[in-house]
Amino acid sequence: MFAYYLDLAWRSLKRTPILAGLMVLAIALGIGASITMLTVLRNLSGNPLPGRSEVLFHPQVDPRPADLPGAKEEPPDDLTYLDAVNLYQLGIAPRRAVMSSNWLPVRKDAPDSPLAMFSDRATTADFFAMFGVPFVYGSAWSAQDDANHAQVVVLSRAMNQKLFGGENSVGKTLVIATKTFRVAGVVDDWNPQPHFYDLNGGAYGKGEQMYLPFFTWLDLPQDYGYGPMQCWGNDPNAGTHDPKAKQCTWAQFWVQLDTPAQVADYRAALNQYSAQQHQLGRYQRAPDVRLRGLLDWLDAKHVIPVTVRMQTWIAFGVLLICLVNTVGLMVAKFLRKSGEIGVRRALGASRRAVFTQCLVEAGVIGVAGGLLGLPLAWLGLWMVRQQPVSFAASAHFEPSMLGAALALAVLSALAAGVWPALRASSVAPALQVKSL
C-alpha cells in the first residue's frame, strides 16, 4: 500500500509541478536556514576535549569579604595567589594544573635579534598530560622543574616555525623578558574550542603561543599583567602589579578526578579547606565551593555568543514561516484533488486511507525539501565561514547534521501536512462525484 501511495504522490506532484516546486523550495529554505544556525550552535557548544572532558573538574572557592555590594552569589571563577598555591599543594587529585596568562617580549638568543610580543600560558607540568596536548618534539617539563623554578619553555608549532624555522628546537635557548629559557618541547596545533580552561579572553579564538612553568613565570618582571586579574573592594587597579595581592583573583585551576569517589573526596577537601581558611579568619564567608565538570562549567558560563543564540531563534522563526507557507500551499493542493478523493472515497477507501495518502505525499515533499535544503545549509555555513567573527572557523558541515536535516524536513512537512490531509479526508464523496 505504501508503494502505491508513493506512486500516487509522485503522479500528483508531477501534475502540479509549480505548486510542488514552491512547497519543496519553501521547506528547503527553512531547513537550510535552521540547519545552518543549528550547526553553528552545535559546534560552538561542542565538547572541546571528547574523551577527557568527563574527568576534568574546575574547583572554585569563595575568598571574598562578607560585605561586597552588588556581588554575585557565585564564587569567583579564578583563584587568588594564596588559594592557587594552597590548592596546588593539596595533592589529592591524580593530576592538577594551576595557570594564568599574559604576553611577554621574546627574542632569539642572539645579539641584536628583534623583540616581539608573544602570548603565553604559565602553568604546571600536569597541564599537558591532563588535557592531552600532543607534542611534535620533546616533552613537557617535569614537576621537579616546577619546584626548581626552571627556565624552560614549551613552544607552539606556530611559534617554533617563526623563531626556529620549524626545526627540532629542543635544547635551544631564547630570551623571554630578559631571561634565558631552554626549549623543552614543541606542541602540535592545539586549541580546543571553546577555550574552556580560561574563558576570560573570550571562549573562541586563538590559542597561546608558548607555555612556561607557573612559578618561574611569577619570578619574571611584573609589568605585563596577570591575565584577567579581578580585585574586589573599591580599587579597580589594586594589585595589577602585585599578583600576590590578597584581594585579587587571576589564576585558573583544573584537576583530574577519575572516579566518583575521588570527586566526592575532592569536594569534601575543598569544603574542609574553606572551613579551615574561615577559621583562620582569612575567609569571611562560610565555605561555598564549586566543583563542576568541564561540560557543566561551560554551561554555567554561557559560552555561546548572544548573537548566535538569537540567530538560532530567528532561523527557527523562518522555518515556522516556511511551514505556514507550506500548509497554505498544501491546503490548496489537496483541495484541488477533491474530485479524485471523492472518487476514491466512493469506491470504498476509508477516511484513514485518504489521510495516509495525503500524508505520504507531504512526506515526499519533505524528503525533497530536505535534500534541497542540504546544499543550502552547506552554502549557509560557507557564508558564515566568510564572516570575520571569532567563531567562523568552527562553522563546518557535519555528517551527523545530514540525518538531522532530513529528519527535520520530513517532520516539518508531515506537521504541515496533517491539517490539510485531515481536511482532504473529510471531503464528502457524494458532493464531489456529482459535480464531476
What residue ranges bind other proteins (CB under 8 A)?
18-19, 22-23, 25-26, 29-30, 32-33, 69, 105, 115-117, 177-178, 221-223, 233-238, 306-307, 309-311, 314-315, 317-318, 320-322, 324-325, 327-329, 331-333, 336, 380, 383-384, 387-390, 423
Contacts of 420 (CB under 8 A, 6+ apart): 327, 330, 331, 333, 334, 335, 358, 362
Give backbone dihedrals phi and psi of 180, rounded to 5 degrees, phi first.
Answer: -90, 125
Handedness of CA 432, 433, 435, 436 (dihedral sign): positive
CB of 328 to other proteins, least distance (A): 4
C-alpha to C-alpha distance for 95 and 102, rounded to whole angstroms:
24
Residue closer to other proteins (CB basis): 36 or 169: 36
Nearest to 364 by CA among 3, 38, 36, 33: 3
Give backbone dihedrals phi and psi of 425, rounded to 5 degrees, phi first.
Answer: -75, -10
Residue closer to other proteins (CB basis): 188 or 223: 223
The C-alpha cell of 402 is what? Answer: 545530514
CB of 75 to other proteins, least distance (A): 21
Residue closer to other proteins (CB basis): 354 or 424: 424
CB of 321 to other proteins, least distance (A): 5
CB of 175 to other proteins, least distance (A): 10
CB of 214 to other proteins, least distance (A): 19
CB of 315 to other proteins, least distance (A): 7
Residue closer to other proteins (CB basis): 87 or 409: 409
Q: Residue 421: is it exposed, middle or buried by C-beta count within 10 angstroms (0-12/13-18/19+)?
A: buried
Q: Tell how many helices (H) and how many strands (E) occur in the chain.
A: 14, 12
C-alpha to C-alpha distance for 303 and 198, rounded to whole angstroms:
11
CB of 387 to other proteins, least distance (A): 4
CB of 235 to other proteins, least distance (A): 3
Residue closer to other proteins (CB basis): 44 or 257: 44
Residues paired with 267 in a beta bridge: none
Residue closer to other proteins (CB basis): 32 or 59: 32
Q: Residue 197: is it exposed, middle or buried by C-beta count within 10 angstroms (0-12/13-18/19+)?
A: buried
Residue closer to other proteins (CB basis): 98 or 421: 421
Residue closer to other proteins (CB basis): 34 or 277: 34
Contact assessment for residue 417 and residue 328, using Cβ atoms and an 8 Å cutoff: no
Contact assessment for residue 111 and residue 134, using Cβ atoms and an 8 Å cutoff: no
CA dihedral angle for residue 318, residue 322, residue 327, residue 333, rounded to 10 degrees: 170
Residues paired with 103 in a beta bridge: 119
The C-alpha cell of 33 is what? Answer: 536556514
